[in-house]
Amino acid sequence: MEKNLKHHFQDINMNEKHLYILLNVVKNNGDIKRLTREGLSFKDIAELSNQAIKHEFLIYEEHSIAISEKGLKSIKKLDKKFKILDKNKWIEKESKSQISKLDKDFIFLPNQNALDF
C-alpha cells in the first residue's frame, strides 16, 4: 500500500514530506512557517495547496480549507515516515543570537546602547 501511495505522489508531482507538513498544518490550524523552513516559497505553498485540493487531500469551501478523509488517511500513512519522534528535534536551535565561546576569565560587558528592556 505504501508503494502505491508513493507512486501516487509522484504521478501528481508532489513531494511527500511537503504534503505531509501541509496536511498537518491544515489539520491542526497551524502556521505555514513550517513549509517556508523547508525551503518553499509562498508561491510553492500556494501551488502545493492547489494540487492538494485538486487531488482531494484538502477541501476548499466557503473561503476556508479543511482536510478531507483522503487527507487524514494520507497523514496516517505518512506519519510512519516523517513524524519526528526524537524530542530533541522538536525545537530548532536558534544560532543567530549565540556568541562565540569565551575564555572562562573573560568578563562580558554588553553594549549598553544595544540593550532593550
- At position 103, the amino acid (one-letter code) is D
Single-letter residue type at 101 = K
pLDDT tens-digit readout, 49-82 = 999 999 999 999 888 999 999 999 998 988 888 8
Closest C-alpha to 5, from 20, 25, 21, 26? 20
Q: What is the distance between the alpha carbons of residues 60 and 79, in angstroms, rounded to a whole number?
A: 23
Give the cell for residue 5.
501511495
Listed ranges 19-33, 83-97, 98-112; the one with the highest mean pLDDT: 19-33
Q: What's residue 21's pLDDT? A: 92
The CATH fold of domain 2-84: Arc Repressor Mutant, subunit A (1.10.10)
Domain ranges of the chain: 2-84
> HEC states along the chain?
CHHHHHHHHHHCCCCHHHHHHHHHHHHCCCCCHHHHHCCCCHHHHHHHHHHHHHCCCEEEECCEEEECHHHHHHHHHHHHHHCCCCHHHCCCCCCCCCCCCCCCCCCCCCCHHHCCC
Q: Is the pTM of this model over 0.75?
A: no
pLDDT at 103: 86
Res. 94 pLDDT band, cuts 50 70 90: confident
Backbone φ and ψ of 29, nearest 5°: 50, 50
| Residue owning grid cell 498537518 | 24
Radius of gyration of the chain (CA): 20
Q: pLDDT tens digit string along 4-56?
A: 555 455 444 578 889 999 999 999 999 999 899 888 999 999 999 999 999 99
